[in-house]
Structure 1
Amino acid sequence: MRFTLLGPIRALTGPAELPLGTPQQRGLLALLLLQDRPVPIDAIVDALWGDRPPASARSTVRTYSSRLRQTLARPGAPGPVLHRTAAGYRLDRGAATLDVTEFLDLLDRGAGLRRDGDAAGAAHALRQALDLWSGQALGGAQGEFAAAQRVRLDMARRTAREQWFDLQLELGEHESAAAGLAAAVSEEPLDGRLTELWMTALHRSGRTAAALAAFRALRAALRDELGIEPGARIQVLHQQILRGAPALAVTTDRGAPEQLPADLPVFTGRDEQVGWLRGTLTGPAPAVAGITGLGGSGKTALAVHAAHRLGDRFPDGRLFVELAARSGSPTPPLEVLAGLLRAVSPGVALPSTLAERSALWRTTVARRRLLVVLDDAADSAQVSPLLPGTPGCAVIVTATRRLLELPTVRWHRLGPLSETEALHLLGAVAGHDRVAREPQAAARLVGACSHQPLPVRVAAARLLDRPRWTIERIMAQLDDDLRQPVVMHEDCKIVDEPIRRAEAGLRPATARVFRIAALPGSPDRSVEDVTLMLRVSPAQARAALEELVDAHLVEETSTDRYRYPVLVQAYARRRADQVEGPGGCRAALELLAAVPA
């Protein structure tokens, strides 16, 4: 015999279904099946009728139990037996099976397989668990107990479904996941987690515009229904899709560890930097290359692209770790080492201290040819324990600034794209035909984007969202955005975010120089200008401007002369108005104007 509760309450003997009676009688059977212990008659009455039971409730329970006992009895064959004891009623299932038990066992099995690194096995177990459902749990039953159990079981089903979709993405089954998620999101349009998974599946399937549309639909629904914005996690995913973050499409080769994100479908320029990385990482000594640059300059994309190009040089695997400096909560090196060690040596026993774990990591990778990408590093203390100590292994570190306490790292400062490269990127995302129709407007647009990959991609996304707009019109809108005291468009906030993080990392005095020195119309600034506007010494002005160079907020053009990129200057001027106030801004400009040219 088989009992099912993940749908209509049924008792099956082969193809035949036993008659289980009224909804309340079915509710009693479900209660006894789920409790699996004696249930006092008063507890049964509460479960079936709540606070307002009929006067005949106790006798009705006795009648229901008698009928169920007769229905479940199978002459000549052992079967479930409903007992009445001093402690209450208890159903002994015997050899009969229950779908709820199987469902929960499969969830536990899937969780164990996933912990052991068997994603395919875990996905199979979860799919089997989900296939047990045939409708609303405890279908046909009434009462508070049935309602509570429906909520509990449905929450477990939703969690299992989300985990199954997540495993599909991990296994590279993006198209299949996208189809299933589309149906799930249509049923639950306010579920941010389902939309997040759907956006990832669509993006990895090459349907980036649809992924962005899914986010807009969720945001509109949440605003209309609840008056709230999407959560922080899905907003980060939205920004990653807009800037083409490669970490959204992890490869799934199960041989030597291959954790590299997929290479960008459109990778523009950077030939010189790729050549430099190849030369740095393939020498005889332990090789560590560092890439610095403002957020959005393409550090991660370059590191991933180069790592893909160097695959034949590192047959023992390529690892990718997000160190998460930009999140404000960098991943501790002890935690990073746990992931690295499990990747190269599954089942390894992990020491508890950082020193022991770092030593085990270096021992484990000795005599291997392994490439590790450490993305978005916070500081030297985070990176140092992760560096191998023997030849053969190579590491690429990306960070917003040089980590000077790591003497073995060779650093490269990543600047903007050339105009030709930026135009090619704009066309690759928004359509080369649109760029070809308005070459001068396109050149002005990428110039206004400072030739940086992230702003160019965001501008291209805006073009995609407005297929009937000309580039000239987009350029006019961008000009207007740059003049506004507060950015209004979401994509402008995305472009501002890396600059905001860089400003937050400055010393207060340097941050004031950053804001005030941006006020004049020209992007060019000298040490003398800063000395006049802020009433500081030339040495103080020079030190602050050099700190801004290190933060990638200004560029040195010649001795004691510097230049703001277009977007950085626009951001700094808005911040000056917010922090220094209109009076402070006017005073600084008047000090500069008072000096004869």
Structure 2
Amino acid sequence: MEVFSRDGAVALGGPRGQCIAAALLMEPNLVVSVDRLVAAAWGDNPPATARTQVQNRVSTLRRLLRPDDDGAGAITRQGSGYVIHAGDGQVDAQRFGRLIADADALIAQGRQSAAAAALSSALGLWRGPALDGLHTPALAASAQRLEGERAQALETRIEFDLAAGRQGELLGQLTTLTHAHPYRERLWGFLMLAQYRAGRQEAALATFRHTRALLVEQLGVEPGIELQRLHEAILGGDDDRAASCVLRREALPGPVPVAVSTPPGVVVVPRHCPLM
């Protein structure tokens, strides 16, 4: 986690101060109770002085985070907790969520290219694992949620890239991702389809064999039905079926409307099916 002010990077101090800042920033403009800040900093075994230490560290954060002219960056006490005030776009997690929402809306409108661009912008905000180095259970749950959203966004963007025929650009990234997340079958399916579409049928079949062996040996399960159907489609050289096993309908380019003009003086007679 990193915090920047108008003067550059802000040194938040040790891990306790970083955990408290993270807990506040995960819920900007909302009250975070002192008890939750204690849990974020110490987990289930806080010292007797934890509440006092939270107050002291929040006071330090107030000095470090000088508020903007509109009050953004200020930390205020409200009821039983504290609020950090953040302006629009000041917290990366907020910007990420907004871009994901934009992408969802664009997908619903059938605007695949714009949705892919929004997803790329969202993923571009990441510089490493969420809340890296902050290990209390409360923050670990927040980090896990963010990582799940990141993985979903990445898979959706890869899906759009595959639908657009950019398999050659994805092979290296997918190879890295499948090794980093070996039990995410969807990533293995993406890699198999990318290899197959790049003219590497044998490599795609070898990837399936490797994935199956991994799942059976490590988890005691067979690959899911989608991966098995993809394997069968690649064996049979069925391009359309292979794509349908991996790519959702929303990712595929929509039909392009074709304007048909009728020459002057020509009467178009509709064709009707005969009645039975």
TM-score by length of 2: 0.85
Give the aligned partner of residue 108 of structure 1.
Answer: 101
Aligned residues: 261
Unaligned segments of structure 1, at least 5 residues = 1-8, 258-314, 318-366, 369-389, 394-405, 409-597
Q: 1:162 to 1:81 in 2, by over 3 A?
A: same
- Note if 1:391 corresponds to 2:271: yes
Letter in structure 2 aligned against 1:218 = T
Q: Secondary structure at the match of 1:51?
A: coil
Give the drift of 1:142. 3.4
Q: Equivalent residue for 1:256?
A: 256
What SS is found at the alignment partner of 1:228? coil
1:388-443: CA deviations, max 9, x gaps? xx5399xxxxxxxxxxxx999xxxxxxxxxxxxxxxxxxxxxxxxxxxxxxxxxxx
Deviation string for 1:565-584 (max 9, x for gaps)? xxxxxxxxxxxxxxxxxxxx
Q: Equivalents in 2 of 1:106, 1:126: separation in Å?
A: 7
Task: Give, in whole Å, the separation in 1 of the partners of 2:97 and 2:195.
Answer: 30
Greater Rg by CA: 1
Q: Does 1:157 align with 2:134?
A: no
Secondary structure of 1:90's counterpart equals: strand
Q: 1:18 aligns with which of 10, 28, 50?
A: 10
Describe the superposition over 1:298-353 as per-residue Cα deviations: whole angstroms up to 9, x where unpaired: xxxxxxxxxxxxxxxxx679xxxxxxxxxxxxxxxxxxxxxxxxxxxxxxxxxxxx
Q: Call closer, same or farther: CA 1:41–1:230 in 2, change over 3 Å.
A: same
Find the partner of 1:120 among 113, 120, 125: 113
Which aligned runs of 4 or more in structure 1 are off by greater than 4 angstroms?
74-79, 252-255
Structure 2 portions without partners, runs of 5+ = 245-251, 261-267
CA distance in 2, matches of 1:198, 1:76: 49
How is 1:539-550 mapped onto 2 (pairs within 5 angstroms)? Answer: none
- 1:123–1:164: 8 Å Cα contact kept in structure 2? yes
Deviation of residue 229 (structure 1)?
Answer: 0.9
Alignment of 1:272-311 (within 5 A): none
Check the 8 A contact 1:84/1:90 in 2, yes or no: yes
Letter paired with 2:148: M
Kindly indicate whether residue 60 of structure 2 is the aligned counterpart of residue 47 of structure 1. Answer: no
SS in 2 for 1:35: coil
Aligned residue for 1:10, secondary structure, equals coil
Distance of 2:183 and 2:10 partners within structure 1: 40
Matches for 1:416-565 after TM superposition, within 5 Å: none
Structure 1 residues 201 and 392: alpha-carbon distance in aligned structure 2, compared to 1, 3 A threshold: farther
AA in 2 matched with 1:10? E
Letter in 1 for 2:114: G
Deviation at residue 190 of structure 1 after TM alignment: 2.4
| Shift in CA distance, 243/407, structure 1 to aligned 2, threshold 3 Å | farther
Kindly indicate whether residue 55 of structure 2 is the aligned counterpart of residue 175 of structure 1.
no
Cα distance in 2 for partners of 1:200, 1:63 equals: 55
1:30 counterpart residue number: 22
- 1:199 touches 1:212 (CA, 8 Å); kept in 2? yes
The question of 1:188 aligning with 2:181 is answered yes
Match of 1:134 in 2: 127
Structure 2 contact 106–114 (Cα < 8 Å) conserved: yes
The separation in 2 between residues aligned to 1:194 and 1:87, in whole angstroms, is: 45
Deviation larger for 23-32 or 76-85: 76-85
The question of whether the paired residues in 2 share the 8 Å contact of 1:79 and 1:93 is answered with yes
Separation in structure 2 between the aligned mates of residue 231 and residue 249 of structure 1, nearest angstrom: 16
- Contact persistence 2:3–2:10 (CA under 8 A): yes
